[in-house]
Amino acid sequence: MQTVQFHGFPFYSQPLPLTKVDAKRLTDLYCDPKTFHPWRGQKKCGGFHPDYCIEWHVGEQVYQCLLCFGCDEAKVFGPGVELYYDINRSPFEELKLVLKPYRKNRPLSGHFDTVMQLRGTEVRVHGGERRVRGTVGRS
């Protein structure tokens, strides 16, 4: 499998199709202020190791949210922005439910360790509506 690097982490390069319902749910979770809270420090799980990369395009700008399901953490990257968050419990469980069906190239294990990249969706910014495009990339 070919891989690409996003912010120093490997992802499979082949995109997977993302349903419009899942794209909307991921966008809603990402935009909900109850999903994330300030990062409280490194966990004892071996460090941040993203399982998914969700990518949104807003005009020419690209935003990526790397999710680590081992640490319950997210790193967000965009033009001139790099943020680090913990994911609150209820949204964390919702994210897992939405993303779990998008496993493809890695075997199931006791740890939710699939690496996936969701590409081609657009996110709502400041309440403005954007179209959601449905392609998912998995690496």
Q: Where are the domains of the chain?
A: 3-137
| pLDDT of res. 72 | 92
Q: Which residues of the chain have pLDDT under 50?
A: 109-139
Average pLDDT, the chain: 76
Burial status of residue 77 (CB atoms within 10 A of its CB: 0-12, 13-18, 19 or more): middle
Token pair listed for 121:
């969706």
**H or E element in which residue 29 lies:** helix 20-31
Calpha distance 55→65 (Å, rounded): 6
| pLDDT of res. 119 | 43
| pLDDT of res. 84 | 94
| pLDDT of res. 125 | 28
| pLDDT of res. 127 | 25
Q: What is the largest CA-CA distance in the chain?
A: 40
Calpha distance 56→71 (Å, rounded): 23
